[in-house]
Structure 1
């Protein structure tokens, strides 16, 4: 094993011209996320991923202010879930997010899901571009979008998403989506990288012992070595800190291939994964 500080970048450049920290904290379904956020900020995370649906934007904002870290040194994301709000409704949701966080802007705002139909997706996307132009968000992106959904944006002649956030781990590698994103300069964020603790796979257990790292650390490291942006979620401060301890080892090419061979396609998904939405 070799020290990995020179092989993994700390940030990735986006088509918006901004950079994003390569490791973020997810706060999905964490009604009391302040302890996790504070632990993350104290141990070096500068990237937190929230959403309207999570109902914890206020807690994230409070944790940021309590950390005393300057806002401009952090990267904060939220997402709009419903795509039937129209221009005014979407902008109202962005404004409400800003009020919840207590921020003047958000670094990234995503359409949370393609569910709702093409017309709604495109209208919501145009609204996010308007919010970006107004300085309320710095980058616009999508989540759970398939190539077909992203092609709708391209065919409409609109600015393409800077980011697509999808379920992504060795068991569900979303290869078609990843290939499309890389062909079009779209950064891939990986949610559920630690597979919600489903660590019973023999290869994962073998590599955990070999590298003296827990399975979650192996999975987060796999994601980083593929140049994805993993967003491990935990409500436990000790787990939040552990998930960040992935920069002192490197998975070998041979062992990366073993993990790559675990892909089950859509069958490997462990969340809602609505990439097939009409």
Structure 2
């Protein structure tokens, strides 16, 4: 595994696994919980150590149980979760504290590696209060890093007005369908690590080019796209329920793309 160093010195695996459909009937985001997460168990066995979760996914307690029961030491895990932007969680500082405390309980740990605001909080007072609570838990060592998700430039600018601790990451959609180039550049300029959700999305004609590129490396088009992402300093959190695909999504560290192939991908 390779790591990226966040702006506060914390090291984050550059590849992780999403969990938004884990432990749910028919692998459906809105499906009922099944109480079992074999996908996460196989991910851990294959070497995934960065686990991306969220309160909105409804399965924190299941993910937490699997992590707690695994043989992987806590210090090797990098656990990310997110607080929703809804009133229930951000209407007051106590509401946000309760959300963080509950996540700590769900993951059966006394600290989380990364805690994010899942979506922009449009009420500026609520945003300020929420971030101040994040900073409070960060200073106490209960959150090793804090950040945001789905924030556009104006959201980041608003946060800058009062934040004492700069967000470590901004988790946004970054893929060939939605390259988000301008926001990606802004994050890098600000020293905020971009984390890509949906990192492998591509149109059919783009997939054809990626597959063609992959032949020279004995890799799939999906692996080429993930490699392209991490080579430019983007953390990726692909998700699969299939152990073979999970294994492939980690098998990215034995090749490097040529300058010509990078240009082909950037021109797609």
Category of TM-score, reference length = shorter chain: 0.7 to 0.9
Report the 3-state secondary structure (helix = DSSP H, G, I; strand = E; otherwise coil) of the residue aligned with 2:116.
strand
Deviations 1:64-109 (A, max 9, x none): 2232111011100000012532211011001111111111110000
Map of 1:129 onto structure 2: 135
Greater alpha carbon shift after TM alignment, 30-39 vs 126-135: 30-39
Alignment partners' CA distance in 2, 1:44 and 1:30:
17
TM-score normalised per structure 2: 0.88
Per the alignment, residue 168 of structure 1 pairs with 174
Deviation at 1:173, TM superposition (A): 1.9
- By relative contact order (CA 8 Å, sep 6+), the higher-ranking structure is 1
Using a 3 Å threshold, how does the CA distance of structure 1 residues 161 and 228 change in structure 2: closer, same or farther? same
**Which of 79, 99, 112 lines up with 1:76 in the alignment?**
79
- 3-state SS in 2 of match to 1:182: helix
Distance 2:23 2:205 in 1: 28
Change (3 A) 1:68 1:246: same
Residue 6 (structure 2) aligns with: 14
1:98 is aligned to 2:104: yes
| Partner-residue secondary structure (3-state), 2:151 | coil
The 2-side partners of 1:72 and 1:199 are apart by 40
Aligned equivalent of 2:28: none
The 3-state SS of whatever aligns with 1:242 is helix
Partner of 1:274: none
Tell me whether 117-126 or 100-109 shows the greater mean CA deviation. Answer: 117-126
CA distance in 2, matches of 1:199, 1:211: 20
Q: Check the 8 A contact 1:35/1:237 in 2, yes or no.
A: no
Structure 2: how far apart are the matches of 1:230 and 1:17? 19
Which residue is equivalent to 1:235? 241
For residues 97-135 of structure 1, give each alpha carbon's deviation from its aligned partner in whole angstroms, at most 9, with x where no partner exists: 111111111000000011533332222212211121233
Distance 2:94 2:197 in 1: 29
> Among residues 109, 117, 132, which one is paired with 2:123 in the alignment?
117
| Equivalent pair of 2:68/2:108 in contact (CA under 8 Å) | no
- Unpaired stretches in structure 1, ≥5 consecutive residues: 1-8, 263-278
Q: Where do residues 172-191 of structure 1 align in structure 2 (5 Å cutoff)?
A: 172-191=178-197
Residue pair 1:14, 1:186 contacting (<8 A) in 2 also: yes
1: CA distance, partners of 2:244 / 2:124: 42
Q: Is the 8 A contact 1:147 1:176 kept in 2?
A: no
Shift in CA distance, 157/232, structure 1 to aligned 2, threshold 3 Å: closer
Tell me if 1:215 matches 2:221.
yes
Aligned length: 253
Partner of 1:267: none
Aligned pair 1:29/2:32, yes or no? Answer: no
**Which ranges in structure 2 are unaligned for 5 or more consecutive residues?**
25-35
